[in-house]
A and B are shown apart, each in its own frame.
Chain A
Amino acid sequence: MTQSNNFTALSACLMVFFLMSPIVIQSVSGNDKYESEIQTITKCLEDLTSSSVDIRKRAVLILGKYSHSAAKSAIIRSLRDDDASIRRSALVSMTETRPFPENSRNEVLTMIGDEDVHIRRIASSYIPDIMGFGRTFIRIRGQIRTHQFPPDLQLIIKKAFTDNDSIVRKNMITGYQHFKGIIDNSTILGLLHDSDRDVRILALNAISSSLNHAEFVNQTKFLENDSDKTLRLHYVKILARLNITLTINILKSMTDDDDFEISTEALIILFENNNFSYYPELKKRLSNHRISQISGTKIIRKLGFMKDGGEAELIALFSHKNIGFRELALQTYGDYFWKTANLNLLIDLLDDPLQQIRSRVTYVLLRNGKLDMRDLQRLSMSHYSDIREFVITYSKRLDNVGAMRLLIDLIIDDDNSIRIKALMEIINRRLDNWQELLAQTLMDDEDEIGGEMVRMIRVSNNKETIAFVRGILEISENKKLLDILNHHNRFQHPAVIHRR
C-alpha cells in the first residue's frame, strides 16, 4: 500500500501543531549541533511518505526512539506498510516506547495473520503485553465479559491457533486466557495432538484450567502414552492435583512407565493417597541414586501416617546411605512416633559422627522425655559437646536432685561454653550451693569465663543474683568484671569462648 498522499497532508498538520505547541522540546544537550525532538520527528514523518523502502525504513528506525504521540502514531500506521521489512521494523519499534498505546491493540493483533512468519512470531509474543497481564476480562454494566474483537480479527486469532509455525502456536496458547471468548475447548484439545512437544504441554496447561476434573481426565488419558517423557511427567504432576478416584487407573498404569521419574511420581501419588501397598517398590527406589530429594521427602513423610509398619520402616531408614533421608526419617519418627520411641536405638545414634543426625535424635529424646539417670550420666560424658549440652537442656525436665547430679559434673567440663551453661542452669534454678559455685568461678576461674558469666547474669536481670555477684566482685576488687556488670562495655561484642 502507498501512503504518500496521506502522509504529506499529515506531516503538514503536524508541523502546524508543533509550531503552536507551547511545550517545544529543545535539544537536551543545549548544543546547536543537535536538533530539537520535533525537528527530528518531522523529518522522519516526511520520509515516511517516500517511495523508497530504505528511506521509510530509516524513518521507522528513528521514530521508534521517540515517545512523542506523533512518532507513536506514525509507527502504528507503518504496521500496514506494503513492505514486510518496514512492517517488521515498525512492530519491533512498538516495544521501545512502552506501554503499548491502547489504540494499537487491534493493529498489533492483526499482525498475527501477517504473511511473514517472523512478524507473526513477534506479534504473537506481544500478546501478554498488549492485552495486559491478568486482564483477561472487562466489566460492562456489572457483567464480566471477555475482550471483544472485530469479526475479521477473531478469524485471524482463531487461525493463529493452528498456524503452521509452532512458535506462533506456542505464543497463542500462552495467551489463550485472553481469547477464551472466541476459542473453544475443542481447539485446545486438538492441540494436545500437536507435533510439537511444547505446544502439547502448553495446551495441557490451558485445558487443565478449563475443564472439570472428570472431563479433563476423560479427554486427556491418552497422554499417559505420549512419546515425550517431559509431557508425561507434566501430565502425572497435574493428575496429582485431581481427585484420586478419577485418576487411579491412569496412575496405576503409569507406575509401569519406562521412565524412572514418571513411574516414581505415579507411585508416590498413589502412596500419598493411602495406597500403602506401593511402599515396598518405593522403598527400593529410595536407594536408587536417581530419586530426587523432593520425591524422597514425600515418601518418608508419608510413612508417619502408615499405621502398620510405618515406624519400623522409618527405623530402617535411620541407617540409609542418603544423609538427607536419614535426617528426614528421624524427624518424621520424632513427629509421629515419639511416644513409643525406641530409646536404646536412639541413644546409640547419639554417637553418629554427623551433628545434624545427633540433633534430630535429641529432638526425639526431648519430646519423649523418658531417659533415665544412668543414660543421662553416660551422655554427660559424650565426646560431643552438643550431646553434653543436650543433657543440660534435658535436666530442666528433672527434679532438683536429679538435675544437680548431672550438672555438677558438667561445671568442670573441658568446654568453657558447657561449663558456663551448666553453672547458669544451677544458678537459675537455685540448686544447692549455687552461690558458692558462682563465687568460686568468679574468683578462681579465668577472666574469660568469669566475663561471660557476668554478662549472662546481667542479661538475666535477676536482682538477687546481680547483687550477689556485685558483692563478690567488690570483695575481690575485680574491676574488669565489675565494669562488665555495670554495663560499661555493653556495646562490645561478647568475647568468643574458645573450646579446649
Chain B
Amino acid sequence: MKLNKADGNPDNNSVVHDITRLELNGSRDFSFYLKKSFLLIIFIASITVQSDCLAINPVNSHDAQRQLSIKKSGLPNVSIVQLIQGKSIHRNYPNALPTLLSAINDRTTVKINKDPVIISSFEDPIIFQHPFIFVNFGDRKDWTLSEMEKRNLRKYLERGGFIYIDAGINAEFLRKNRSHGQHHSFADWEASPVIKDAFKQVFPGKKFLPLKRTHALFKSFYSGLPDPGNLPDSVRDFVIEEKWPQGTYSAVAMSVKGRIAVLATPIISMGWGKNHLGNWSTTIRFRIRESTTGLSDYLGTAAYSGDRYESTREDGGRDVIYCQNDALPAWVNEPHNRWRVFRYYQSREISDFAHVFYTRLGTNIFMYALTH
C-alpha cells in the first residue's frame, strides 16, 4: 500500500507539511513509519522511567525547572497531526497545542515538532506518517465520517495510531450550545453521543469505556497533582479527593487490539495555551461541590430557572443537575439523596493551578500515546 502522495516520483509537487516529511523524499510504506516509531518508542520508554523520578513536584520551582531542562540536538522527529475542519484561524484555543508541544519538548526527551501538521479530514493520507492525531471536538463541525475516512481510521488505529479527542466528553447540559463544551470541563464518564456514533461506524463492535483512575496513562510522565498548597482549603480538599484525585481526570477510551486507540475527555486544551509573553492565555475558574448542614432541606424544593439534567458518575450512578438560566449548574442531587451546591471559584492561584494540571495531564496523554 502506498500512503505517500509522492509515489516514488521526484515530480511530487504536493505540499510538504513538515520537516519529517521533507527528509523522506519519496515514497515510504507504513511499515517504514512503524519501524521508525518503534525505535522512537523504545528510546522514549527508556527515558520515561527516569522522567517519573524527575517529575516529583517540579511545578512551582523555577530552579527545578531549569535543572530539568534537557539538552537535545538535531531536528524534531515527531510531528503531531491536528484536525481542523474549515479555516484553521477559527480553531478553538489556537495557542493551546503549540504551547503544550513546546512544554513536552522542554520537559521530556521527546523531540517533538512544536507546529502540528494540520489536516481537514481523516481522508488525508498524511495521517499514516504520524503516530498521534489531536482533535478538539469543536474544531470539526460535522462528525459524519466519509467512507474513506472510516477506512483510513480503521487502518490507522489498527496499525498503532492514536487519536485524542479533546472535549469529546460533553455532559448533557453542555450540548445545546457548541461553545459550552469548550468552556466547561464537566466530569462525565460517557463519550459525547456524536463521537460514539462516529466511531461505531469505524468499529461497530467496540465501545468507549471509562478509564480507571489507576490507569497508567495518568502516571506516564507526571504523577499526582501539582502542589495544591496555595488553594483555599475547601477547593483544595475537593480537588484532591474528588475533582482530580492523584492527578486523574474523567476520560473514556476505545481500545483496538488490546491498546487504547481513541481517547476522549472533557475539554482540557483550554488550560494549555500561553501568549507571546509566556502568560497563560485563559483564566480558569473552578467548579467545586460544596455542602453545609441542612442543604438538602432547602434544595429539594428550591426554585430553579434553567434546565434539569442527568449525568453519569464514575461509578455508573447518576447525578441530577439543576441549572439556573444558561448552562450554569447550580446544585446537584447525588445518589443517596445527597445535595450539594456548585461553587465557582476564581482566583489567580486557582487558575495557575488548573493550567499546570492541564499541562501535566496533556503531557501524560501524549507521552502515554507515544510510548504505548
Closest beta carbon of chain B to A22's beta carbon, Å: 18
Hey, which chain B residues are within 8 Å of A384, CB to CB?
A: 10-11
Residue contact A230 to B62, C-beta cutoff 8 Å: yes
Instruction: Chain A residues near B285: list those with CB within 8 A.
Output: 95
Within 8 A of B (CB), among A86-103: 88-89, 92, 95-96
Instruction: Kindly state whether residue B13 has any CB partner on chain A within 8 Å.
Output: yes
Residue A189, interface by CB 8 Å: no
Is B348 in contact with A35, judged by CB distance below 8 angstroms? no
Residue A264 CB within 8 A of the other chain: no
* B346 close to A228 (CB less than 8 A): no
> Nearest CB to that of B290 among chain A residues?
A61
Within 8 A of B (CB), among A147-170: 167, 170
Task: Given A35-B302, A58-B294, A354-B16, decide whether A121 and B347 contact each other with a Cβ distance below 8 A.
Answer: yes
**Chain A residues numbered 18-50 whose CB sits less than 8 Å from any CB in chain B:** 25, 27-29, 33-37, 39-40, 43-44
Q: Say yes or no for B12: interface residue by CB 8 A criterion.
A: yes
CB-based contact A355/B303 at 8 Å: no
**Contact (A170, B348) CB under 8 Å given A34-B301, A34-B302, A40-B303:** yes
Chain A residues near B66 (CB, 8 Å)?
Answer: 229
In residues 1-58 of chain B, which contact A (Cβ within 8 Å)?
9-13, 16, 19, 22, 25
Q: Are B13 and A289 in contact (CB under 8 A)?
A: no
**Knowing A40-B303, A65-B341, A355-B13 touch, does A167 contact B348 (C-beta < 8 A)?**
yes
Known contacts A34-B304, A229-B66; A95/B295 CB under 8 A: no
Say whether A142 faces chain B, with CB atoms less than 8 Å apart: no
Contact (A43, B298) CB under 8 Å given A27-B303, A37-B305, A385-B11: yes
In the complex, residue of chain B having the shortest beta-carbon distance to the beta carbon of A60: B292
**Which residues of chain B from 58 to 86 have any CB-CB distance to chain A below 8 Å in the complex?**
62, 66, 72-75
Docked complex Cα distance between A33 and B133 (Å): 49
Beta-carbon contact of A289 and B72 below 8 Å = yes
- Given the complex of chains A and B, what is the CA–CA distance between A216 and B331 in angstroms? 52
**Interface residue tally on A, bucketed by range:** 35 or more
Q: How far is the CA of A148 from the CA of B293 in the complex (A)?
A: 42
Is A393 engaged at the interface, CB distance under 8 Å to the other chain?
no
| Contacting pair A28 B304 (CB below 8 A) | yes
Q: Which of B230, B277, B303, B345 contacts A92 (CB 8 A)?
A: B345
CB distance from A68 to the nearest CB of B (A): 10
Shortest CB-to-CB span from A372 to chain B, Å, is 25
| Contact assessment for A118 and B232 in the assembled complex, using a CB-CB cutoff below 8 Å | yes
Q: In the assembled complex, which residues on chain B have CB atoms less than 8 Å from the CB atom of A197?
A: 62
> What is the CA–CA distance of A322 and B74 in the complex, to the nearest angstrom?
10
B324 contact set on A, CB distance < 8 A? 65-67
Contacts of B348 in A (CB 8 A): 121, 125, 167, 170-171
B281 CB, nearest partner CB in chain A, Å: 15
Partner of B19, one of A33, A167, A323, A386: A323
Please determine whether A92 and B344 come into contact, CB atoms closer than 8 angstroms. Answer: yes
User: In the complex, what residues of A have CB within 8 A of residue B22's CB?
Assistant: 323, 354
The B80-134 residues at the A interface (CB cut-off 8 A) are: none
Main secondary structure of the interface of B (DSSP, over half): loop
Considering only residues 126-185 of chain A, those with a C-beta below 8 Å from chain B are 126, 167, 170-171
Interface positions of B from 293 to 331, Cβ below 8 Å from A: 293-295, 298-299, 301-306, 308, 324-325, 328, 330-331
The CA of A107 and the CA of B114, in the complex, are separated in Å by 46
What 1/0 mask marks residues of chain A from 190 to 231 whose CB sits below 8 Å from any chain B CB?
000000010000000000000000000000000000001110
Q: Looking at A67, A353, A415, which has the most chain B CB atoms within 10 Å of its CB? A: A353
Q: Is B278 an interface residue (CB 8 A)?
A: yes
Q: Which residues of B contact A57 (CB under 8 A)?
A: 292
Chain B residues within an 8 Å CB radius of A229:
66
Residue B343 at the chain A interface, CB threshold 8 Å: yes
A121 contacts across to B, CB distance below 8 A = 232, 347-349
**A residues 224-265 with Cβ under 8 Å of B?**
228-230, 234
Task: For the complex, give the distance between the alpha carbons of A33 and B12 in Å.
Answer: 71
Complex Cα spacing A279 to B370, Å:
40
- Which residues of B sit under 8 angstroms from A170, Cβ to Cβ? 348
B304 touches A167 (CB 8 A): no
Tell me whether B298 and A40 are in contact (CB under 8 A). yes
In the bound assembly, the distance between CA atoms of A126 and B285 in angstroms comes to: 12
Verify B347–A39 contact, CB threshold 8 A: no
| A428 on the B face (CB < 8 A) | no
Residues of chain A within 8 A of B308, CB atoms compared:
29
Closest beta carbon of chain A to B109's beta carbon, Å: 14
B233 / chain A contacts, CB cutoff of 8 Å: 118
CB distance from B54 to the nearest CB of A (A): 19
Q: How far is the CB of A406 from chain B (nearest CB, A)?
A: 18
Distance between Cα atoms of A43 and B285 in the complex (Å): 29
Q: Which residues of A contact B13 (CB under 8 A)?
A: 355, 385-386
Chain B residue contacts of A167, Cβ below 8 A: 230, 347-349
Residues of chain A within 8 A of B344, CB atoms compared:
92, 95-96
C-alpha gap A384/B14 in the complex (Å): 12
In whole Å, how far is B227's beta carbon from the nearest beta carbon of chain A? 14
Q: Pick from A25, A61, A122: contact of B346, CB below 8 A.
A: A122
In angstroms, Cα B73 to Cα A356, docked, is: 24
- The docked-state distance in angstroms from the alpha carbon of A92 to that of B286 is 11
Which of A58, A88, A171 has the largest number of chain B CB atoms within 10 A?
Answer: A58
What's the Cα separation between A118 and B232 when bound, in Å? 6
Tell me which residues across on chain A come within 8 A of B12, comparing CB atoms: 355
What's the Cα separation between A383 and B13 when bound, in Å?
12
Does chain B have a CB within 8 A of A54?
Answer: yes
With contact pairs A40-B302, A61-B292, A61-B343 given, residues A353 and B10 touching in the complex (Cβ less than 8 Å)? yes
A62 at interface (Cβ–Cβ under 8 A)? yes
- 8 Å CB contacts to A: which residues of B260-293? 277-278, 285, 290, 292-293
* Residue A55 is within 8 A (CB to CB) of chain B in the complex: yes
How far is it, in angstroms, between the C-alpha of A27 and the C-alpha of B341 when the chains are bound? Answer: 19
Task: Report the minimal beta-carbon distance from B100 to chain A, rounded to whole angstroms.
Answer: 17
> Complex formed: what's the CA distance from A351 to B330 in Å?
66
Contacts of A374 in B (CB 8 A): none
| Binary per-residue interface labels of chain A (481-497) against chain B in the complex, 1 for a CB within 8 Å, 0 otherwise | 00000000000000000
Enumerate chain B residues within 8 angstroms of A40, measured Cβ to Cβ.
298, 301-303
Q: Which residues of B contact A33 (CB under 8 A)?
A: 301
Asked if residues A62 and B11 are in contact (CB atoms below 8 Å), the reply is no
Most buried by A among B10, B74, B292, B349: B292
Chain B residues close to A by CB (< 8 Å): 9-13, 16, 19, 22, 25, 62, 66, 72-75, 230, 232-233, 277-278, 285, 290, 292-295, 298-299, 301-306, 308, 324-325, 328, 330-331, 341, 343-349
Residue contacts A-B, CB under 8 angstroms, 7 given: A89-B343, A118-B347, A228-B62, A230-B62, A322-B75, A354-B25, A383-B10
What 8 A-B pairs have minimum CB-CB distances, sorted nearest first?
A: A385-B11, A118-B232, A54-B293, A37-B303, A125-B347, A65-B330, A40-B302, A61-B341
17 more CB-based (< 8 A) A-B contacts, given A323-B19, A355-B16: A25-B303, A27-B303, A28-B305, A35-B301, A35-B302, A40-B303, A55-B294, A58-B298, A61-B341, A92-B344, A95-B285, A228-B62, A354-B22, A354-B25, A356-B16, A386-B13, A499-B9
